[in-house]
Amino acid sequence: MTTDLSVDADWNALYLDGEWTAGESDETIPVEDPSTRERFTEVPAATEADVDAAYEAAAAAQAEWAERPPAQRQAVVQQLLEAVHEYEAEIADLLAHEVGGSRIMGETSVKIASDHLSEAATLPRRMKGEHAESNIPGKENLVQREPKGVVTVISPWNFPLNLSMRAVAPAIAAGNSVVLKPSTNSPITGGLLFAKLFEETDLPDGVLNVVTGRGSDIGDRVASHPESDVVSFTGSTEVGQHVAGLAGENLAVPAMELGGNNAFVVTEDADLDRAIDGATFGSFVHQGQVCISINRHIVHESVYDEYVERLVDRAESLPAGSAHESDTVVGPIIDESQRDEMLGYVEETVDAGATLETGGETVSIEGVDDSLVVAPTVLSDVTNDMAAACNEHFGPIAPVIPFSDVDEAVEIANATEYGLSGAVHAGDLSVAKDVADRMETGNVHINDQPINDEAHVPFSGTKASGMGSYNSDAFLHEVTETKWISIQHEPREYPF
Ligand code: NAD
């Protein structure tokens, strides 16, 4: 395979109808490496006319693709899986440069994306309809499952590879065509990379189209395009509500995975060794920039002091710095505004009476003027109304809130508009199951931390965290529809 997927490759083109094109305007968007703060490449700022061209190509290519036999669609998905494996090192390097992903983040992204591809490859053969008896003599009812048509995929920057993949791969496997709009912070690993990888497969031209551009310039056109039949959006609740409204006006199905404020409950009889291991990973992996990471540690008062002390020890032991160092665990925050927001939440929380146990500052990187790395931060004496607890924070921040009985823990966990993921550690599994049942979230993990995604298990948020589900049959149903065909085998008796 000879495709250039290096950071030095030419990334300055849109992918429309199987062609790399400059697009209508000369304007470009710089792509900055958050570790070094250097611009390493640029991508096109697509216009609404480019967006229209993407949908025109997608609509034109879809019917022929949908008619391909299941085995052919499956083969294309399997070819993509092979390409992801072939280019694993280049993909991880791109993630490090574009979004500050550590070695662990890069490996995890490739692993989860591969899992989504493996599951998507099974869908073409599992797109089954039904046969239903009829109450009308001589009639036969067939219910066919068919692709919706054109699926719009809008993805965020935090885990761009697998969050784009979990929509693109099953949508295409099911016979749809796709217009993919990645985040401005991850135009390559959430978008253009997909076009280069699919070029290694037998996917027909036009089935995948990638437009890079600012959400504020082309987002509305993408979300409301009349050719779009499904809008699969992963991102913030605020933007998601707007996008769902636009999709709804157009009667496109809004499949929305939005923000979270995930609770990690630790009861008095929990195994603290396991809880601290989970707490450390769940708060600090990819510097806390995960929609399902731990936002709030809710810990029983009898183990609270020991828990805080041990979490501080672990936080201080984590290597923090450039994503290009192989041992780095906590890399840079995606950009200045996100970093400043994180540090602002910490400051406000301390001003409101919490104790800063460790962190709360940037970590300098040699040769970099204004580092985006935030030191792993632990805050104690936190209450649920403080800034670091009540806001969805996308940073390496662990606010620890005490509770005295399990009912109070559940009340604190649920006192948020969000309902994405959560976890509970308890020695008594029946207590853990009871807490899990009462947590108002789409996903809860017992004796683990909240970051879990398995492509064959439904993943969804409740409350302000979304509508619809990803993964396997749940997402297959979002990107397909049923069609009832009846056959009247014998003459039918009508009343007149
Ligand atoms: P964001 O909402 O700012 O952006 C998401 C996408 O929407 C980007 O591609 C952006 O360019 C695009 N966009 C912006 N304005 C638009 C418009 N008017 N029309 C159409 N598209 C528009 O989110 P982000 O900062 O990229 O990602 C972080 C957020 O994503 C967090 O809230 C996080 O919780 C959430 N998230 C959720 C999940 C999940 O599975 N529930 C997974 C990852 C991230």
pLDDT in tens, 245-270: 999 999 999 999 999 999 999 999 99
Check pocket membership of 45 for ligand 1, CB cut-off 6 A: no
Is 291 one of the annotated active-site residues of the chain?
yes
Is 366 one of the annotated active-site residues of the chain?
no
What pLDDT is stored for residue 335 in this prediction? Answer: 98
Confidence check: pLDDT of 20 > 60: yes
Confidence check: pLDDT of 356 > 90: yes
**Cα 37-38-39 angle, rounded to 5 deg:** 125
What pLDDT is stored for residue 145 in this prediction? Answer: 97
What pLDDT is stored for residue 287 in this prediction? Answer: 98
What pLDDT is stored for residue 1 in this prediction? Answer: 55
Which protein residue has the closest C-alpha to ligand 1 atom 19?
Answer: 219
Q: Taking residues 19-40, what's their average pLDDT?
A: 96
Of 168, 169, 129, 165, residue with least CA distance to 146: 129
- The second-level CATH assignment, the architecture, of 262-446 is 3-Layer(aba) Sandwich (3.40)
CATH number of this structure's domain 14-258, picked from the four choices 3.90.199.10, 3.40.50.300, 3.40.605.10, 3.10.20.30: 3.40.605.10
- Mind listing the pLDDT tens digit for each residue in 265-301? 999 999 999 999 999 999 999 999 999 999 999 999 9
Q: Taking residues 205-227, what's their average pLDDT?
A: 97
Among 98, 119, 227, 257, the one annotated catalytic = 257
Q: Which two tokens stand for residue 178?
A: 């796709």
Provide the percentage of residues in the chain whose pLDDT is more than 70: 100
**Cα 366-367-372 angle, rounded to 5 deg:** 75
Check pocket membership of 332 for ligand 1, CB cut-off 6 A: no
Q: Taking residues 339-367, what's their average pLDDT?
A: 98
What pLDDT is stored for residue 2 in this prediction? Answer: 75
Q: Which atom of ligand 1 is nearest to the CA of 190?
A: 9
Check pocket membership of 239 for ligand 1, CB cut-off 6 A: yes
Q: Which two tokens stand for residue 322?
A: 């450039």
Listing DSSP states for 135-202 in one string gives: SSTTEEEEEEEEE-SEEEEE--SSSHHHHHHHHHHHHHHTT-EEEEE--TT-TIIIIIHHHHHHTTTT
- Domain map (residue ranges) of the chain: 14-258, 262-446
Q: Taking residues 198-226, what's their average pLDDT?
A: 97
Confidence check: pLDDT of 486 > 80: yes
